[in-house]
Amino acid sequence: MPVLPDSTPPEPAAPPATSIHPEQLLNDVASLPALPGVYRYFDAEGVVLYVGKAINLKKRVSSYFQKNHGGTRIGHMVSKIARMETTVVRSEAEALLLENNLIKTLNPRYNILFRDDKSYPYLKITGAKLSSNPGSNFPRVSYYRGAVEKRHHYFGPYPSAVAVKEAILLMQKVFRLRTCEDPVFNNRTRPCLLYQIKRCSAPCVGHIGTSDYAQDVANAERFLRGDARQVMDVLEARMMAHAQALEFEQAAELRNQLAALSNVLHQQSVDNVSDRDVDILAVKVQGGRACVNLAMVRGGRHLGDRPYFPVHVEDAAALYSDDDQTVVTPCSVEALVLEAFVAQHYLNVPIPPSLVVSEPVNKSLLQMLSIQSGVKVRAVHQPREQRRLWLEMAQTNAGLQLARLLAEEGSQQARTRALADALDLALDHLDDLRVECFDISHTAGEATQASCVVFHHHKMQNTEYRRYGIEGITPGDDYAAMRQVLLRRYGKLAETLQQAQKTGQTPAGTGRLPDLVLVDGGKGQVSMAREVFEHLGLDLSLIVGVEKGEGRKVGLEELVFADGRDKVYLGKDSAALMLVAQIRDEAHRFAITGMRAKRAKLRVDGGKLAEIPGIGPKRRAKLLQRFGGVRGVTLAGVEDIAAVEGISRELAEEIYRALH
């Protein structure tokens, strides 16, 4: 998290000799240089507590050990510090960059943290290239995530997949660019439905020439870059030229393009906006939680927004408010959250030249972002005109999203409390309730996968989910699959806990058993789980099965216990049953998506093609690309297969025999 510049009080003395901290730590603090750098605090188990930056390392770090912080949050953190690491850098900008890279990598307990989302989606237009592939002469527009290639053109990033798909639909309506993949394009013999509904110009069957299609692609790219007026002028000039040449059908087509483009511009109200690429950032803090709403303007068009919810807001904010005021300049929690977002978010995401922000941003942070991106970045606080409207909209959305989150969290806490009460779970703190749920998924015994999902701190912890590939059992034997996954999940932990009971010492980093183990199934699955727990010497009261009710209807589920208690029906409207169903359904979803991915890999990438002698990865890839998949290869004749580069007549016959 960004730290505001240090002021310049008199340099503190070395840490006092009498201290709860290790002598080596105090010696390290006393020997720190008065230079810019980044420091990391660790507890006795090696867990990182805090990452910070300082213009003067000696002054900044010494301040933590110079006073009695009492029972404050910073005092609680300082009391845990057992070890420290520091890195000296050349400037404050370098310190900021390193600090936020470490925050994202180490996830410290006392820094404001923003969870990494998947990579942002882009709109991709393939680049033309010299190739025997006919589709390479007619660039394709598509949705894209991942690493970029220089030969293609990318537009974005977009705040969501929906925004990209809306842009692709616009490219189809106005410019009629193709969206089909090359294997489909290369094998078309007549236009598809998209041509009939005027969403594609059908280059696959020659209904448009290479030069005309290239002009449409160029216009689309200009529009996506924000040159909408220039595109409209070009289209209008072409329309008039066709009209003068009495080519009224072509003129009508261009007229329709102009109308569609004008309608889009009118809907998005960007006719008088000079900003091409801008991010609008608004922050709202309430009830110990925070929301940063990021709205994106690209090419002069407002693409939508996305909310972000950081963690550790209360700890980090309290640490700053309790910290030595001679070292940290006081500022609002909103400003701290916003600076943390800007510093962490733009490490891996391209930053536009203009930011419109609801709170002022540190100039050192903007300098760091400019150095990193190679683009002069400026932030506008208290904007006017169109920017002010954008910011007000972002602030409203931030407030709405935060209110929704707080309502959901309140509801989720009520469900957690209801479940703990219904099952008489003995908990020191309700927040610590940890539930792990298991499910098995396969298709007639094929690609068997087991899932384990985790519910903790009133929400699903997807970073702790695990999938287990099940092997060495009779296909379709769900009981054997459940036995295998439970042994793999708890075998080593049970052994470690039993050893700790004998020695009286628990090794650092040892995990914990959940308070509840849910298995998706009735008496049979519960009996298998009971056998495993008896074998491992674990508490049977942890195991609860979720048995389908009459007719397998939702809301009629009953809970089955491994320790001999009678079945429990919580009631259709029970908050506890809602939570159990939520966790069970998530385990089922996670298992079935893993199974489908594994099955698809076996059927497409592996399958029978991989088993045919003489078919390696390259030949298999060529076959799949040529025929669009294993099904296409199966439908092809020997002559068609032999026409693929690298496939001889003899090998084609062998492939045909193997697939039939």
CA-CA distances (angstroms) from residue 201 to 142, 246, 496, 515?
16, 22, 66, 60
Q: pLDDT by residue (tens digit) across 464-475? A: 999 998 888 888
pTM summary value: 0.64
Mean pLDDT over the full length of the chain: 82
**Residue 549: pLDDT band with limits 50, 70, 90:** confident
DSSP result, 236-248 = HHHHHHHHHTT-H
Q: pLDDT by residue (tens digit) across 362-406? A: 888 888 888 888 889 999 998 888 888 889 999 999 999 988 888
Q: What are phi and psi of 429, to 5 degrees?
A: -135, 130
Q: pLDDT by residue (tens digit) across 575-590? A: 888 899 899 999 999 9
Rounded CA separation 566/37 (Å): 62
Which of 51-55, 123-127, 311-315 bottoms out in mean pLDDT, i.e. has the lowest?
311-315
β pairing state of 516-520 and 122-125: unpaired
**Domain annotation for the chain: domains and CATH numbers:** 430-501+512-597 (3.30.420.340), 612-659 (1.10.150.20)
For a pLDDT cut of 70, what percent of the chain falls above it? 86
**Residue 7: pLDDT band with limits 50, 70, 90:** very low
Q: pLDDT by residue (tens digit) across 284-342? A: 988 788 999 999 888 777 788 889 999 888 777 666 654 443 334 446 889 989 999 99
Mean per-residue pLDDT, 11-23 = 57
Q: Which is higher by pLDDT, 281 or 240?
A: 281
Mean per-residue pLDDT, 192-208 = 89
- The pLDDT assigned to 530 comes to 94
Amino acid at 316: A
Q: pLDDT by residue (tens digit) across 211-230? A: 889 888 988 888 887 776 67
Rounded CA separation 179/159 (Å): 21
What's the 3-state SS for 498-514?
HHHHHHCCCCCCCCCCC
| Residue 471 CB-density burial (10 A; 0-12 exposed, 13-18 middle, 19+ buried) | exposed
3-state secondary structure of 155: strand
Q: Which two tokens stand for residue 237?
A: 């000039």
Rounded CA separation 528/471 (Å): 17
Q: Which two tokens stand for residue 190?
A: 């007549």
- The pLDDT assigned to 540 comes to 92
Rounded CA separation 621/506 (Å): 51
- The pLDDT assigned to 233 comes to 76
The answer on pLDDT for 621 being more than 80 is no
The answer on pLDDT for 9 being more than 70 is no
